[in-house]
Amino acid sequence: MEQEAEERLWEIIDEAEVSLVITQGDRGFPHCRPMTLLGYEEDGTLWFATSRSSRKVSEIDRNPKVTVCFLAFEGGAYAQMFGKAEIAEDPELKAELWMEEWGEYWEGPDDPDYVLLLVRVDKAEYYLIEEDELWVIDFS
């Protein structure tokens, strides 16, 4: 049953039209912003691209606990993932995940302001709207 629950979680993430990364803002309130999920590993690792100079990086430096929400409107579900974020600067991974359309933000995969945001998920939950079911998955 747990494997089926995990498989459904990743289906929701794949189907999601919107993903939101939520950090602790500088006044203690949550700060939410849409971000594009670049990829994930089924051990609960999520990858995003960001700027080193962004506000989210300084918020994560202060408090690495984040929530990532995925909204799958068509699939009638949403998922939340809770974990710790860190900045990753692996040059090979940055080059592998690089997208040409990001040229308007960064000069290329070697741009020092282009970094990867890695989220290591401890726990996830998802809600199936039509079934009125809440599922919880522990990654730790």
Each residue of 15-58: pLDDT tens digit?
999 999 999 988 889 999 999 999 999 899 999 999 999 999 99
pTM above 0.85, yes or no: yes
Q: Given a cut of 80, is residue 101 above it in pLDDT?
A: yes
pLDDT value of residue 27: 83
For 54-119, the DSSP string reads: SHHHHHHHH--EEEEEEEETTTTEEEEEEEEEEEE--HHHHHHH--GGGGGT-SSTT-TTEEEEEE
- Higher pLDDT, residue 140 or 110: 110
